[in-house]
Amino acid sequence: MPSRRHEKLFPAPVCGVDEAGRGPLAGPVVAAAVILPERNCPRGLDDSKKLSAVKRATLYERIRERAIIGIGIVEPDEIDRLNIYWATMKAMTLAVEALESPPGHVLVDGNRLPRWSWPATAIVGGDAQAMCIAAASIIAKHTRDTIMIAHAEAHPQYNWHSNKGYGCPRHLRALREYGPTPLHRRSFAPVAQAELPLVIPTAERG
């Protein structure tokens, strides 16, 4: 389970940063920055991937009530311009910039750090080790899921309310049948392939 031992190594306030949505074919990449309170920290914080949607939603509300939060969102068109790596770095930067005050140190899930001026440390598997990163993973994941569920109402054929934009079989079938929406990432191979015109070999033409 995550603990606060990493936070105690650095000057306060320590901020945890994590992202959600690097792999989907549609929708934004979302990052969250979270500074937890010294006391009365929500119980049950963990890597968001290990939690049910109901548990994430409950913890999301508890974190928002007690912590300082910043959120960064980079939309699909900018993901296509920057590529997903740099779009993720930008989302993380926007999240920290959105905090009410600058952090004393930033703990980032992963093995890379954005190009920013804040002192920071990358922790591989940080969402399972540091409570502030676990909290950030919950905020980022729930925020992005909520965005995709809202978009699913306008594009029901892609089943985003269930797959959240990831390339599951039903999503891929709909992509081939209906083509990409403005929410799709056109730089991702399955989406780019869905935009290609069907070419009929010469021998099969009438």
Task: Give the mean pLDDT per block of 10 residues along the chain (206 residues).
Answer: 95 97 98 95 94 97 97 98 98 98 96 95 97 98 98 96 96 94 96 69 45
Q: Residue 194's pLDDT is what?
A: 87
3-state secondary structure of 85: helix
| Per-residue CA distances from 130 to 33, 34, 123, 124 (Å) | 13, 11, 9, 10
Q: List, as residue ranges, the binding site.
A: 18-19, 109
Q: Residue 195's pLDDT is what?
A: 75
- Give one DSSP letter per residue of 121-183, joined into a string: EEETTGGGTBHHHHHHHHHHHHHHHHHHHHHHTT-GGG-HHHHTT---HHHHHHHHHH---TT
Q: Residue 169: is the preceding peptide bond cis (ω within 30°)?
A: no
Q: Residue 199's pLDDT is what?
A: 42
Q: List, as residue ranges, the binding site for a divalent metal cation.
A: 18-19, 109
Phi, psi of 30, deg, nearest 5: -125, 135
**Cα(90)–Cα(154) distance, rounded to whole angstroms?**
27
User: CATH number of the domain at 7-144, please?
Assistant: 3.30.420.10
Q: Residue 58's pLDDT is what?
A: 97
Q: Residue 203's pLDDT is what?
A: 46
Q: Residue 196's pLDDT is what?
A: 61
Q: Residue 33's pLDDT is what?
A: 98
